[in-house]
Chain A
Amino acid sequence: MSRSKIHWYKYASPAHFYPLANKLIPWVATVAVVLFILGIYVAFFVAPTDFQQGDAYRVLFIHVPAAWMGMFLYILMAVYAVIGWAFNVRLSSMMASSLSITGAMFTCLALVTGSLWGKPTWGTWWVWDARTTSTLILFFLYIGFISLQSVIDDPRRADRAGAVLALVGVINVPVIYFSVQWWNTLHQGATIRFLSQPTIATRMLIPMLVMLSACWLYSIAVVLIRLCCIIVEREQSSVSFTEESTRENGAIAWGADK
């Protein structure tokens, strides 16, 4: 057993997590902005023009990370929601609610940029192929989760109902994916794999990975900000956001930095 000086479980409590999140947000947001600027610069000025697709392919530097984020965040949201439900961790359920909106945003962005890329490359705005369709369905699943949570007034019930829906959805995602693949697919195969050599030029891969990290950090920052808002909204009675408590924790907290 390692004798850790930090009691990690402490941060499962909204009251303790709130100052920590507030400390993290500016750092994460700054790095995200820097990476975005760097990624966009490399994507537009350094990466070579594609032999077949011309300059239109550059939208993929946003499209691919957005599509990945949309999928990852749904799974992450389901994991947080189920942890919150199973172990009765309020913060975890709040995390799921705040993840859902960012995830829906990325999925929508992936759909929009995908159709912008499809028009010059495939010659059509929309194609009912396996991946496009399953991304659209993923977007519907996000919408279902968000609307269910927003209709329920009691936050406890909203958290748990959302957890059941997210769990059912996450089990369904592979079924949906394979069922949608039943049709002949027009979408090109995956070019970045974990186990084999990626079939993409390194000068194109690097900006892609930079943009992916930027999207991750952006998600973390935005989700934490939304989480703080939810904490303030729901836990006002149990947590006192006074001058005193913020000074104690040495945090740049709500209202104190103005």
Chain B
Amino acid sequence: MTRKKKKRETPDAAMGTAVVMVLYVTDSGPNSIRAIANLEAICEEHLKGNFRLEVIDVLEFPLRALADGIVVTPSLAKVSPLPAAMVVGNLSDKSGVLRALGING
């Protein structure tokens, strides 16, 4: 069992405050895999590396998810900048994700 953790943060602060996100997934569940792929694409396109992402496998760390108030996976939590937001599902609704992340698509 592994805990997946992914962090990316641009060294150049000129691009503004980095978006900090936590993605809660279930190992290799099909929706979890799709959520990771969708989020990768969105970050690549819209955040240009200016983000920090942590991926939590709830099979490995269920209590962490519970403590963070997660009830289903995959769930994406935007931690900062405020306001915090939450998106559930496989993140195939791109506009919904951008909206939650505070990005003007």
Q: Do A and B come together as binding partners?
A: no
Chain A residues with a Cβ under 8 A of chain B: none
Chain B residues with a Cβ under 8 A of chain A: none
